[in-house]
Each structure stands twice: as structure tokens, then as C-alpha cells.
């Protein structure tokens, strides 16, 4: 089964529209996961950029 990952913007909109507290809690948990995924992608990108740079101490 392929899990669909919604982006944080979609999840924020869904949270604003949620009427049921249980639904809101699930959306917020998904939002937290989405933000952590995005943070990791950015961290990995910064690390890759650092490794690709030539050494500045020449």
C-alpha cells in the first residue's frame, strides 16, 4: 500500500476546516510528520551542498 503524503499547506487548510477533535488530532499528527520530512530534506540538501563545495582552505 502506497501512503499518500500531503504537504504542510494542504494539512493546514484541512486543520482549519476540521470539525471533529479526533480528525483535527490526526491532521495535526500528519502535519507534524510532514514538517519533519521537509526539515530532513532541507538538512540533507544543505549537507550535500557543503560536501560538493571545494575546500576553502587552500
Residues 6+ apart with CB under 8 A from 7: 34
- Predicted TM-score (pTM) of the model is 0.71
Position 1 scores a pLDDT of: 46
- Structure confidence at residue 4 as a pLDDT band (50, 70, 90): low
Position 56 scores a pLDDT of: 57
**Among the listed residues 33, 37, 9, 13, the one whose alpha carbon sits nearest the alpha carbon of residue 24:** 13
Position 26 scores a pLDDT of: 97
Q: pLDDT tens digits, residue range 23-56? A: 999 999 999 999 999 999 999 999 999 988 766 5
Amino acid at each position: 500500500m502506497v501512503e499518500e503524503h500531503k504537504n504542510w499547506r494542504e494539512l493546514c487548510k484541512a486543520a482549519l476546516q476540521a470539525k471533529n477533535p479526533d480528525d483535527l488530532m490526526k491532521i495535526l499528527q500528519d502535519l507534524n510528520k510532514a514538517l519533519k520530512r521537509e526539515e530532513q530534506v532541507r538538512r540533507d540538501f544543505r549537507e550535500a551542498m557543503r560536501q560538493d563545495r571545494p575546500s576553502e582552505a587552500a
